[in-house]
Chains A and B, each alone.
Chain A
Amino acid sequence: MIEIKDLHKSYKTGNNSLHVLKGINFNVAEGELVSIMGSSGSGKSTLLNILGMLDEADSGTYTLDGVPIKNLNEKIAARYRNKFLGFIFQSFNLINYKTALDNVALPLYYQGMKRKERIERAMAYLDKVGLSPWAQHHPNELSGGQKQRVAIARALASDPKVLLADEPTGALDTKTSYEVMDLIQKINEEGRTILIVTHEHDIAEMTKRIVNLKDGVIIDDKKVDQVKALQYV
């Protein structure tokens, strides 16, 4: 599903050049649940941004579902993001003045779907994350866990190939974190490919594979026995 070969990325700050990714080689097969770990500054967020087409690598190749991702202009990047990727953020990034339902429907709006149809679809995904009774609530009336579940429904709404989660439990307490991880595991079991960036070991243990990043290189890539989140809930 994801193939990365010899990926480099550096940032220029004034006269200094900061080499963040120093040759990443990395493949993800369909249906995997992968966590990317590393201390801050290890380059894990940069990697996720490049995977999410929010940033572009200096060199190396990136192929997503057989499509080479390079030389994107903003318009095509936006289209690919909409079609291939679903984003889950640490701080949820829901739009505050829209209801939960409208938030979930937003990616479908950018696909150009008719209002009636996208509301129906959005409702189905809200139901899937167990929030259909909260459909007409605004984000500030929801708890943190509920917000993240709305965000997950939104990421799923456009039926993307890959879900990219950047510290999805970073703003949640332990119990809520496990609830969210339980949801993510269930979605993965339906066959969806999911990448999670985290620095919490217990969260990483709940994925099927852990990739360790340090100073811009992968130092460790191993399959693990998945810990089911359900037992903690």
Chain B
Amino acid sequence: MFDLERWEEIFETIRKNKLRTFLTGLSVASGIFILVVLLGIGQGMRNGIGVQFEQDAANILYIWTNRTSVEYKGLNPGREIRLKNTDYQTTAQKYIDELEYKSAVYRIWNGVVTFKKESGSYRVEGVLPDYQFLENSTMTEGRYLNYTDHENYEKVAVIGNRVKNDLFKEADPIGKYVEISGINFKVIGVFTDPGGEREENRVYVPLSTGQRVFYGQNYINNMAFTLDKQDNFEAALAASNKFSSELEAFLKEQHSVAPEDDRAININNSLENAKRFYDLMDMIKYFFWGVGICTIIAGIVGVSNIMLIIVKERTREIGVRKALGAEPLSIVGMVLHESIFVTAIAGLVGLIGSLALLELVGPMIETEFITNPSVNFGIALTTVFILVIAGALAGFFPAYRAARIKPIVALRDE
């Protein structure tokens, strides 16, 4: 490897065939270039999907109920299951160390909201303060609900941006009273939501107030939880799957629902959904690897061809070397060395080129589906490894051929 003589020979043959070596190198360089850029785009898509899922808290679990579909313990199917405050409280208490945000939701149906002459039908929900983070709402004016509001059954409301625009136009809504189904609530805040208009079309009141004022008793419609952040996606997915299945079992037992009934208790695990997208991303990644590797193979075949020609051209020289005492292994080493050198240099150029491109152009790409395409160090290292293997493969057949040259035949070859 550090044999000066051999390096000299390699540079000599390269110098003699600049154009040919350049063109060969180009095919390898473009192969690596395409592979790394594709991988970068794959990563960018992954990042893009990640951003999409950050709009709602990424690892949110959403629980709602329905009618039972299976007869169980003498109870007829079609029985309506309704969650209660105790379901929420027990769960919140039991998983207090694992939950990040938690809230129960009581939905007020046909919530007609009126301010002076303006009125509209909006989705009105009684929620707990954590619900702000579960929905990723951001306050533009005033404040969100807090636990004091909840404990004191305050008649206060937080309205979405859309509601504000509909009812108040340009006026400042904070401190004003709106009527919700005929009962006055004081507006304390206006929120905006990354989910857009659809999610800004809502009005939130304290859960306790909602249940008391709108005859909800101790019933709730939904529960929403997020779990504490984990180091990686797999751990987060495992934690949320565990929580989800435990919670489902608990609720089914509480409400006498058959374990095999999959209609009565519903848990939407957003990480499960996310996983589908990540799996898709993985598929795309493998596809990109495949395309990239194929491109590199084309490059290798090019190098292999060139090396075959070089060996053919140097048949006589190889014969002389063998007559002078060169062992077959040293001839193999000579050819392999050159081919690995050419592929490695060309590949590094391609690698550096593609990394530079990703580095320069990557941060500028901010579409909905691709965010900051890049490759990490490990992938760069893998491609370098692939290069060396590729070089060795490209050189193998020519080297084998060279080693089998009989000096007597080579010397006769005028």
Contacts and interface: CB of A to CB of B under 8 A. Distances in A.
B118 to A, nearest CB: 92
Contacts of A62: none
Contacts of A54: 323, 406-408, 411
A115 B329 CA distance: 20
B93 to A, nearest CB: 79
Given A54-B407, A97-B16, A74 B328 contact: yes
Q: How large is the interface on A (under 10, 10 to 19, 20 to 34, 35 or more residues)?
A: 20 to 34
Given A55-B408, A93-B411, A79 B329 contact: no
B316 A93 contact: yes
Contact of B320 (A83, A95, A109, A115): A95
Interface string A102-114: 1000110111000
B328 A89 contact: no
B408 A107 contact: no
B316 A78 contact: no
Interface in B31-90: none
B324 A107 contact: yes
B324 A106 contact: yes
Contact of A115 (B5, B16, B324): B5
A158 interface: yes
B19 interface: no
Contact of A158 (B9, B319, B325, B327): B325
Interface residues of B, number: 25
Contacts of A75: 327-329
A87 interface: yes
A115 B328 contact: no
Given A54-B411, A115-B4, A110 B323 contact: no
A65 to B, nearest CB: 16
Contacts of A91: 414
B253 interface: no
A87 B330 CA distance: 20
Interface of B: 4-5, 9, 12-13, 16, 316-317, 319-330, 406-408, 411, 414
7 contacts: A52-B323, A75-B328, A87-B324, A93-B316, A93-B319, A93-B320, A95-B320
